[in-house]
Amino acid sequence: MVKVDTLKEIVKKKKERILLAKQSLPEQELKDKMQSLPAAKTFIESINKSRDISLIAEIKKASPSSGIIRQDFNLGEISLNYKEAGVQALSVLTEEDYFAGSPSYINEVKNLVDLPVLRKDFILEPYQVYESRFLGADAILLIADLLSKETLSELLQLAQNLGLDCLLEVHTEKEVKKALSLKVPLIGINNRDLHSLEVDFEVTEKLFPLIPKEKVVVVESGIKNRQDVLFLKILGVSAVLIGQAFLEAQDIKKKVEEVMGW
């Protein structure tokens, strides 16, 4: 049986979506519309607490590995629950085809809560960086596996020029080396293999020691309970990115407090 490469499928769809977006709002128009935007919030500062582990709480309706995660998906309710629970930042899924997200979610969330927002999507080219800033994101996700060192360098520079922080996501030793050669301050270790969708917590154990202490490290995927968070806190991780464990719970705020020990 041929294994499906999920990341390949997602990227194929994403390229089609980018073409449509450019037709709807050409890049020059997008740049013109950005002139009067307020400054973005500093995402890194909000999650870099010296003696504690921070939480980036994720908003996503579905995922390729689990299908629909939350049936009664109410963007406003979820955002306010996270805010009340005291999370440090939000991650908002905007990918439409596999995660049932929408670019409009960022603005909706920002109108409700004053937390820094990471745009979680599959960013492939400069247009999407401009688009992220226009949508109201404070930070963007860049996936080391998806992009060449040259493209990453270009997108990181552009994001910096626009006042956006970047979370550069890695899953292998090779990708860690790529990230470190680019001198990024914020690195995400994803325990999930985006090709097979399998999760392995040992990825963090293997990669974390390779990253210099001065970097801000976020761990993503497979974090389900207080024990997981405590393990990562002892390891020295700056922040965890958690979505599914909260969104599957009936009482989101209570689940956040339980998992984080707040």
Active site residues: 58, 60, 120, 169, 190, 220-221
Round to whole Å and give the CA distance between 176 and 7.
19
Count of positions (residues) in the chain: 262
The H-assigned helical ranges of the chain are 6-24, 27-33, 43-47, 75-85, 104-112, 126-135, 149-162, 173-181, 202-207, 226-235, 244-247, 252-260
| Residue ranges of E strands in 191-228 | 216-220
Cβ atoms of 215 and 32 closer than 8 Å = no
Alpha-carbon distances, residue 103 vs 47, 58, 92, 237 (angstroms): 23, 15, 9, 29
User: What's the distance, CA 146 to chain centroid?
Assistant: 15
Partners of 192 in the β-ladder: 199
Instruction: Provide the 3-class DSSP secondary structure of residue 171.
Output: coil
